[in-house]
Amino acid sequence: MRRSRLRASISLAVLWPLAAAALGSNIDPNGEGLQYAWGENVGWVNFQPNQGPGVTVTGEGLSGLAWGENIGWINLSPANGFGGVIQDGAGNLAGFAWAENAGWINFAPAGAGVWIDDEGIFHGWAWGENIGWIRFSQSASHPFGVRTAWRPPGQGPRFVRGDVNQDSSIDLADAIGTLKYIFANASVACLDAADVNEDDNVDIGDAVYLLAHLFVQGPPPAPPHPACGPDPTIDALGCASFPSCNE
């Protein structure tokens, strides 16, 4: 057992640079500190640790590494054994993570489980075979939590794609707002609204796309447009605030 755990630790150390390059966390997209679960016997579990890229949520499941302050690395997508933490596309998690110093962690134990709501917040309890319960649900006495930019399809915040400055009209000012975000580090409250061509990035292509729509009869922004609605696809951008569509 000691040898196998030593080999696992060495493997993580060797593979970590490759993992860091390949993965990108979509935990705590709004910088609220919502990246912590609580283990009743092991303390904090950080899903976006400073030591690496953290955990990524997709419609298929969770991947990457979380860090337990007292148990070390937790692999959400181990290549062996039970195949990692998966989900059904609607936010209901199942399967097992592997903690190098604590064994298997079950995300759908009998009588409990972990799920993600339409705001990207994790809820529920996972069970570690050697460490007991890990709590995700927030409460007044437990003001921690984990949020992801991932949302179940057709859910999540409502917004109008293209209305970057949220003044209820789509015009030159929105293209300028996108350019300021790209080149002058200006803030954008709803990145999904600025992703007008819906390629899951906010870049110069979005400003060009919007200008073409406004001045040379180019195609309109992708849905939701021109009315408020949720993002019909899954991406890591998110929409932190769009009050006129969510009042």
Cα gap 231→225, rounded to integer Å = 10
Q: 65 and 55 in contact (C-beta within 8 Å)?
A: yes
Tens of pLDDT along the chain (247 residues) come to 444 444 444 344 344 434 433 446 899 988 889 999 999 999 999 999 987 779 999 989 999 999 999 999 999 988 766 679 999 888 889 999 999 899 999 999 988 899 988 788 999 999 999 999 999 987 666 678 999 988 877 667 889 999 999 999 999 999 999 999 999 999 999 999 999 999 999 999 999 999 999 999 999 999 999 888 888 776 778 888 888 886 6
Instruction: Name all domains of the chain by residue range, CATH numbers in brackets.
Output: 2-146 (no CATH), 158-241 (1.10.1330.10)
Block residue for tokens 């309109």 = 220
From residue 1, alpha-carbon distances to 70, 98, 105 in Å are 19, 14, 18
pLDDT at res. 246 = 67
- Residues 105-119 have pLDDT tens digits of 999 998 889 998 878
CB 149 within 8 A of CB 24: no
Residue 24: per-residue pLDDT: 64
In this prediction, residue 80 carries a pLDDT of: 60
Judge whether 75 and 45 are in contact, CB under 8 Å: no
CA–CA dist 159, 151 (Å, integer): 14
Q: Tokens 């409250």 belong to which residue? A: 189
Return the half-sphere exposure (C-beta side, CA atoms, 13 A cut-off) of residue 4. 6
Per-residue pLDDT reduced to its tens digit, 73-105: 999 988 766 679 999 888 889 999 999 899 999
pLDDT of residue 138: 74
